[in-house]
Amino acid sequence: MTQVCRRGLAALAFVCALGAQAPAQADDAAADMTGLRVVARVVAVGARRYKIENGVAWRYDAGDEGATRLPQVVVTHHVVVRDGIRYRLDTSASQVFGDETVPALATITPLPPDRACPAVPRRGLRGIWQARAGTALPDRTIGGLRLTRRTRLTWRCMAVKRLHQVGVVGGTRVRDLDQATPWQAEFYSTARYVKQDFVADAALVRAASPDAEYLNQRHAYEFHHHCGAVLIAPQWVVTAQHCIVNANGAIDPDYVRRWRRIRLGTQDLVHGGATYAIAKVVLHPGFDEQRYRNDIALLRIAADAQTVPIDDPKRIAPLRIAGVRADDPLPDDWVILVVYGWGTMTAHGDDVAPHLDDAGHVVHDSRDLRMVRLDPVPRAVCARNPHYRGIVTDGVVCAGYGPGGRDSCQGDSGGPLVGMDGDDPVALVGIVSGGYGCGLRNMPGIYTNVAHYLPWIRKVVGAGALLP
């Protein structure tokens, strides 16, 4: 049996994907693992087929060969108590989707005790449960499921700095600062959650277990976020080229025109804004994903019947590109840079809302645009970072925060790094491209240096279309 066992999302979640030998439809096959009762779930409801992964089901639409692989509306889980420790358990049966076999999956996440830690009497600190790994338990194979690397845990209350809840790492909600971001765009999938989905999802939960919980993920589904983007001319947004990918991760402009749209005019992905079809995708010919080279693409948005015209500068308006004016600072010379995004707030953040928090409670994140202030990191310094060897060329800007804790992260890609004049956003300096981890100490993020690509951008969109 092939076995992949890796550490999961939270440091304490172990995800074991098992080989494909398990029966394709292990309906209600009950197994006993670690003394916990596990019910392998039916993940086909009617004609619809699902894959359940880390407690989140994904729907495959027939005929589209995974092209419309969508986040689905069900998170099913059990919370069980064994030896005084609460565990969250997510499992699925092995399933065949077209020619892809999704192996049986078991995730066991120890949860902290179901009571709050005592309040910490010092300001700015709060108590949270921290796990201490105890004795490792031997591997077990039960009912065809093999489970490894279990650990018996002990928990204790620890005082930690209060952190902001959920965009970027270490930032604030833009709307709390009442700042307009009329150029911020979102690049999203065109999934629609229809009544049929609702019915199928409710049935899926009922079929699974009486303990299973139904999370209404309609918002996460319909507003399935991919990347950020920036409006730079009346009909053009710029984004990172690594965002122009199909379901298999390959650069695919045709797929993107068909399955993605651009949203403008909102800081809240759940409410408001205007959406636009993508009429044209222009890729920079020199893109090299491995080395973060030329990570830039231009999308022309179609002003079709369903769209709101771009005429209210408070809601939708382009951002000037740095370097257009002769007196603009060079990329390394901006004093204040701010990055904006709807991405995750930690390197392994859960981008799907609603979800379960560490204590096993349902959390409905609002999807507010967030921002965080960064410092420019001189290219020479950035290039010395062992993780960025061979990456820091003229086409790149580095920005970060020395002590760590502020950064862009997964899902922010394609969005803007903006040069500020005090509190005012002035010009587009960078596009979120990559980075090693998120928010680590002395580990800046890598941004596409937009000014470097001005000649190419002018050629594509027309010099007169850019803001002077």
242 is catalytic: yes
Question: How far lies 330's CA from each of 378, 445, 456, 467, in Å?
Answer: 11, 18, 18, 18
Residue 378, number of CB atoms within 10 A of its CB: 15
Site residues for ligand ARG, 36-55, by CB under 6 A, read none
Q: Count Cβ atoms within 10 A of the Cβ of residue 446 and give its class: 0-12 exposed, 13-18 middle, 19 or more buried.
A: buried
Site residues for ligand ARG, 387-426, by CB under 6 A, read 407-413
> Annotated catalytic residue: which of 295, 328, 368, 407?
295
- DSSP 8-class letter at 343: -
| Lookup: tokens for 258 | 């068909």
Is the peptide bond preceding residue 354 cis, with omega within 30 degrees of 0?
A: yes
Tell me the Cα Rg of the chain. 23
- With H, G, I as helix, E, B as strand and everything else as coil, classify residue 212: coil
> Annotated catalytic residue: which of 209, 408, 413, 433?
413
- Which of 70, 438, 450, 451 is in the footprint of ligand ARG by CB under 6 A? 438
Cβ burial 212-230 (10 Å sphere, 16+ → b, else e): bbbbbbbbbbbbbbbbbbb
- Which of 44, 111, 166, 432 is in the footprint of ligand ARG by CB under 6 A? 432
Residue 368 or residue 407: which is nearer to ligand ARG going by CB?
Answer: 407
Is residue 265 a contact point for ligand ARG (CB under 6 A)? no
- Which of 201, 435, 453, 460 is in the footprint of ligand ARG by CB under 6 A? 435
Which listed range, 276-284, 360-368, 434-442, 455-463, lies at the site for ligand ARG (CB under 6 A)? 434-442
Residue 34 or residue 344: which is nearer to ligand ARG going by CB?
Answer: 344
Q: Are 40 and 156 in contact (CB under 8 A)?
A: no
CB of 74 to ligand ARG, least distance (A): 25
Is residue 117 a contact point for ligand ARG (CB under 6 A)? no
What is the Cα–Cα distance from 110 to 88, expressed in whole angstroms?
A: 6
Residue 192, number of CB atoms within 10 A of its CB: 10
| Lookup: tokens for 416 | 């803007």
> Annotated catalytic residue: which of 77, 242, 284, 355?
242
Q: Report CA 314 to chain centroid distance, whole Å.
A: 27
CB of 444 to ligand ARG, least distance (A): 8
Size of the site for ligand ARG (CB under 6 A): 13
Is residue 434 a contact point for ligand ARG (CB under 6 A)? yes
Residue 235 or residue 410: which is nearer to ligand ARG going by CB?
Answer: 410
Site residues for ligand ARG, 316-345, by CB under 6 A, read 343
What is the Cα–Cα distance from 53 to 58, expressed in whole angstroms?
A: 8
295 is catalytic: yes
Residue 342 or residue 453: which is nearer to ligand ARG going by CB?
Answer: 342
Residue 331 or residue 435: which is nearer to ligand ARG going by CB?
Answer: 435
Residue 172 carries which side chain, given as an amino acid letter? T
- With H, G, I as helix, E, B as strand and everything else as coil, classify residue 368: strand
What is the Cα–Cα distance from 72 to 52, expressed in whole angstroms?
A: 9
Which listed range, 12-20, 101-109, 182-190, 431-439, lies at the site for ligand ARG (CB under 6 A)? 431-439
Q: Give catalytic residues, as residue numbers.
A: 242, 295, 413
Residues that bind ligand ARG (CB under 6 A): 343, 407-413, 432, 434-435, 438, 445
